[in-house]
Amino acid sequence: MIQNVMRNSDVRPVRARLRAFRHDESGVMAPLVLILFVLMILVGGIAVDVARYETRRVEIQNTLDRATLAAASMTQALAPVTVVNDWFTKADLNTELGAVTVTTGMNFKNVRAEADVTSKNYFMSMLEIDYLQGVDSSQAEQRVTNVEIALVLDVSGSMYNQISRITNLKTAAKDFIDTVLDSDTENKISIAIVPYNGQVNLGPTLAAKFNVSYPHSYPNSYCIDLPTSTFANTTLSRTTAFPQAPFDDGWSSTTQSTSYTAPISNYYDSSRRLYSNVWCNPVAGNYVRPFNNNHTTLKSQIDGLVAIGATSIDLGMKWGTFLLDPSSRSINAELAGSRLIPAYFGNRPADYNDDETLKVIVLMTDGENFVQERFGDAYRTGTSPIWLANDGRYSIFHDTRVDSRTTSTICNSRPFWVPHLGAWHSRPWTGSSPSSSACYVPATTSYSNTTRQNWQAVWAAVRVQWVAWELYARALGTSSSTRTSTFNTWLGNFRTLTDTDVMDSRLDDVCSAAKNNGVLVYGIAFEAPDAGASAIRSCVSVPKSNYFFDVSVLEIDSAFDAIASNLSQLRLTQ
């Protein structure tokens, strides 16, 4: 018994300790804390992985936005896909770039790009999520509501000398019109056509909108001489008097012989039914065409272009810029009111600061500026001293040959030079010589069988150089040197020539004025000589870009196509 009791006493402390251990709660939170610690590290790691992904996504999204904006910009010379690829390559993100989609029309260009966003996980990989992935996209668009275009086209004689030039120009220009207008269903795009050679033929309707001095009535010849001061800006006054260019051939030479040379009547090229060296050729097909958007009307105008004459790029550009200048709006309003242009173009051109309007000039030449003729005002109109007999012979009165005695009849005066006879007469040529006893009568203003001519009639019939030689130099010159001197003096009286350096400077001035007003200027040098190509290159908006095209006959269509695809204004759409 005593032995058993001792044994129970020995067990009793053990039991007590077990009971105490069972009720002891110290250290019970340690496992929970350990579990929570692991979870906190995991959640923090997820946040780090997500933050890394978002940083990557923002970087790619920013690159997408910048790339699509650059690709859609109207001043961008590279292809849109090339631009987007280059942005991603420079940012070392080229492996993430996905599809690039480009959509273009006449007044818009849309560039959309997508990119994959992939970020490797450091912590979420413990949950068997190795990567976070997504897709970013961005879209930029160039678009304008209204587009005003002036096609300034060279129709000089060199375009005919190589007939493929004028033929291919017509094809390319008509394709351009179709490309531009096919995407316009709301009459937002207007096109004006300015054909130019040595002059710009406005046509009777447009010429009537200006204050024209020294007018003449020769059919289909409606050119205006513009002073150099007008090339410093894009405007033209409707109230300032601008002289009408005479219908004349001031360029063709004549035989300078002491013997008589008959005039070459009308200097007319019968094979082409044209006047080869008339500055303002009477060709209705070369009239300026104000704003229109009718395919048939515009393409018919292009088909009717006739290549003839010299080259004055500065004049073509000046009239092209004027048609886009707000100062010409009153003309369009009047033309629309008379139903000569569509009514919805009556409020054009828009102001230069109109954000909804794009103004574009396409300037094309196959040549270079050629010295330009300008007639002396005293010989544009009014009565001349020249007489034309019914038999087609000319004579001229020279007052220096009149005797100074003031009598009604001066019998020793012979003031009329008759060039085909090489003789001085007391009367103008009437088909026969006057008798030796016939006296000059100052008061006489008419004679039978001959008519005193006005200057316009003279220039419409004979060359300027023929008049200067046969009616002045041969009459008044007494030797080879004095005849030459007299010829040069009177040729200079009749007309002066504007040097090509001045013309190039005027072109630079009007191009700068247009560009300063926000007009986009595209240029096409169509197999042009270096001087012509350089002049066009200097005129365009961005010389070293796709605003300038130096092309051959087979490439001109591509130049017009490229211009048609690059006209608009930038805005980010997504």
Residue 15 lies in a domain: no
3-state secondary structure 148-203: EEEEEEECCCHHHHCHHHHHHHHHHHHHHHHHHHHCCCCCCEEEEEEEECCCCECH
In angstroms, rounded to a whole number, what is the distance separating the alpha carbons of residues 230 and 257?
A: 41
Task: Give residue 272's pLDDT.
Answer: 67
Q: How is the chain split among helix, strand and coil, in percent rounded to 5?
A: 40, 20, 35
- The reply to whether 206 and 345 lie within a common domain is yes
261 lies in some domain: no
- Counted domains in the chain: 3
> Is the same domain home to 447 and 399?
yes
Q: Quick one: pLDDT at residue 564?
A: 80
Is residue 20 a part of any domain in this protein? Answer: no
**Looking up tokens 């054909």, which residue turns up?**
195
Domain boundary at 125, 143, 161, which? Answer: 143
Q: Say what the pLDDT of residue 108 is.
A: 66
CATH classification of the domain holding 218: 3.40.50.410
Which stretches in the chain have pLDDT values below 70?
A: 1-12, 14, 16-45, 49, 74-77, 105-108, 122-124, 126-128, 131, 143-144, 265-273, 405-408, 544, 553-554, 566-574
For residue 503, give the 3-state DSSP assignment. Answer: helix
Residues 287 and 340 in one domain: yes
- DSSP E strands in 197-312: the ranges are 211-213, 241-243, 268-269, 274-275, 289-292
| Residue 6 included in any domain | no
Residue 86 tokens read as 């280059």
* Whole-number pLDDT of residue 207: 97
Q: How far apart are the first and last CA of the chain?
A: 99
Per-residue model confidence (pLDDT) at position 411 = 81
> Looking at the domain assignment, is residue 22 inside a domain?
no
Is the same domain home to 367 and 393?
A: no
Q: Of 412, 408, 475, give the one whose Cα is nearest residue 444.
A: 408
Distance CA 289, CA 163 (A): 23
Residue 192: per-residue pLDDT = 97
Residue 402 lies in a domain: yes
Where in 317-356 does DSSP place strands (E)?
none
Residue 10 lies in a domain: no
Q: Which of 520, 514, 512, 517 is nearest to 147 (CA)?
A: 520
Q: State the residue for tokens 């929570």.
A: 36
Which residues, listed in sequence order, are joined to residue 120 by a DSSP beta bridge?
131
Is residue 179 domain-resident? yes
Nearest to 59 by CA among 36, 92, 11: 92
Cis omega (within 30 of 0) for bond into 227: no
- Residue 125 shares a structural domain with residue 186: no
Question: What local confidence, expressed as pLDDT, does residue 410 receive?
Answer: 79
Same domain for 360 and 389: no
443 and 334 share a domain?
no
Residues 309, 286: one domain?
A: yes
pTM of this structure: 0.75
Q: Classify burial at 245, counting beta carbons within 10 Å of its beta carbon; exposed 0-12, middle 13-18, buried 19 or more.
A: buried
Q: Which domain holds residue 536?
A: 146-249+267-371+499-572
Q: Give yes or no: residues 547 and 468 share one domain.
A: no
Tokens linked to 429: 């040529």
State which of 449, 466, 497 marks the end of a domain: 497
Task: Specify whether 244 is located in the same domain as 188.
Answer: yes
Residues in the chain: 574
Q: Identify the bridge partners of residue 298 per DSSP, sorted by sequence position.
A: none
C-alpha distances in Å from residue 176, one per residue of 168, 182, 350: 12, 10, 23
Dihedral pair phi/psi, residue 390, rounded to 5°: -65, -20
- Are 441 and 485 found together in one domain? yes
Last residue of a domain, one of 452, 475, 497: 497
Together in a domain, 287 and 169 = yes
The pLDDT value given to residue 36: 66
d(CA 480, CA 494): 21
